[in-house]
Copies of this chain bind each other. A is one copy, B any other.
Amino acid sequence: MGDVQARVEAALERFLPSGKIAPQRLHDAMRYAVLGGGKRIRPLLVFAAGEAAAGESVRADPARLEVAGCAVECIHVYSLVHDDLPCMDNDVLRRGKPTCHVEFDEATALLVGDGLQALAFQLLAEHRLADDPAVQLEMLKILAAAVGSRGMAGGQAIDLASVGQALTLPELEHMHIHKTGALIRASVALGARCANALAPEQLAHLDHYANCVGLAFQVVDDVLDQESSTATLGKTAGKDAANNKPTYVSLLGLARAKALAEELRKEAQAALAETGGGARRLAELADFIVLRKF
């Protein structure tokens, strides 16, 4: 994991425009938001899915996985920067640092998000990611659908509308399937297609894995938001409760939320078993996501 994180960090450093290129303040702010922080879970999923899809004997091309991993991380960071804006969650701390609009200004943070979204698509379009360009077009389509109004951006809209509402468990799940789940599914789908050695039914099992892991990620996030300190998390703890937002903890209580995360972890592992092996790192990541402490 450390190797992949270091490799992704170096690639992001390379792919992001230098702070010496105009407009400098915007590029400085993009680099500030992206570099030197975060667990890089989505790129880790890209790499792990690439390994799973390459099979036991073949190695997925790490240069391709790097590009896809950086693209999903750019999307993720853009969503964080926009979510932290005053008109959204109005947060001041992210990854242990002042949020982008606090360190720079609101207008710049808005453009940082806009620019990072474009950069993600540019990366997927301009580097060779698949032997067949038609597969690469499919990858672009997967990412675009995952982040748009029927994916991640839509999840954010559902989240906004949920403030102060008493959601049912299926409604909460519906929100997170969009808000967090869509990009996590796309990360696994992109990684798998970089290697391109899986049959459609194996891809479907990986997708089911990604669905479970995406939800588990959010359940654990809600648990940590309740149980951990701001210092440990690197972002404001207890924020959802303070903002009167429904969470798995507010709906189920801590014990049942933890049990749900554990159930989802097992379901994810079972889905991997169906792919017929080679998915060791994806299995490790499911454990990491559920057992993490920050």
Q: Which residues of B contact A133 (CB under 8 A)?
A: 132-134, 136-137
Q: Are A149 and B23 in contact (CB under 8 A)?
A: yes
Q: In the complex, A45 Cα to B108 Cα: how many Å?
A: 30
Nearest residue (CB) in B for A119 is B148
Q: Are B17 and A160 in contact (CB under 8 A)?
A: no
Known: A107-B87, A125-B144, A144-B125. A149 touches B117 (CB 8 A): no
Q: Are A114 and B113 in contact (CB under 8 A)?
A: yes
Q: Are A125 and B141 in contact (CB under 8 A)?
A: yes
Question: For chain A, which range describes its interface: under 10, 10 to 19, 20 to 34, or 35 or more residues?
Answer: 35 or more
Q: Which residues of B contact A140 (CB under 8 A)?
A: 121, 124-125, 137, 140
Q: In the complex, A158 Cα to B23 Cα: how many Å?
A: 6
Q: Are A26 and B125 in contact (CB under 8 A)?
A: no
Q: Which residues of B contact A30 (CB under 8 A)?
A: 149
Known: A23-B157, A117-B114, A126-B141. A17 touches B85 (CB 8 A): no
Question: For A111, A113, A145, A158, which residue has the most chain B Cβ atoms within 10 angstroms?
Answer: A111
Q: Do most interface residues of chain A lie in helix, strand or loop, or is the interface mixed?
A: helix
Q: Are B115 and A88 in contact (CB under 8 A)?
A: no
Q: Tell me the smallest distance from the CB of A260 to a CB of chain B, in Å.
A: 23
Q: Which residues of B contact A185 (CB under 8 A)?
A: none
- A72-116 interface with B by 8 A CB criterion: 78, 82, 85, 87-88, 105-108, 110-111, 113-115
8 Å CB contact of A21 from B22, B88, B150: B150
Q: Tell me the smallest distance from the CB of A64 to a CB of chain B, in Å.
A: 14
Q: In the complex, A141 Cα to B206 Cα: how many Å?
A: 28
Q: Which residues of B contact A107 (CB under 8 A)?
A: 87-88, 160
Q: Tell me the smallest distance from the CB of A162 to a CB of chain B, in Å.
A: 10
Q: Are A26 and B119 in contact (CB under 8 A)?
A: no
Q: Does A219 contact B (CB under 8 A)?
A: no
- A residues whose Cβ falls under 8 Å from a Cβ of B: 17, 21-23, 25-27, 30, 78, 82, 85, 87-88, 105-108, 110-111, 113-115, 117-119, 121-122, 124-126, 132-134, 136-138, 140-141, 143-145, 147-151, 153-154, 156-158, 160-161
Q: Could you list 10 further interchain pairs (A-B, Cβ under 8 angstroms) beyond the known A124-B140, A126-B144?
A: A23-B157, A23-B161, A108-B157, A110-B110, A111-B160, A119-B149, A125-B138, A133-B137, A137-B137, A137-B140
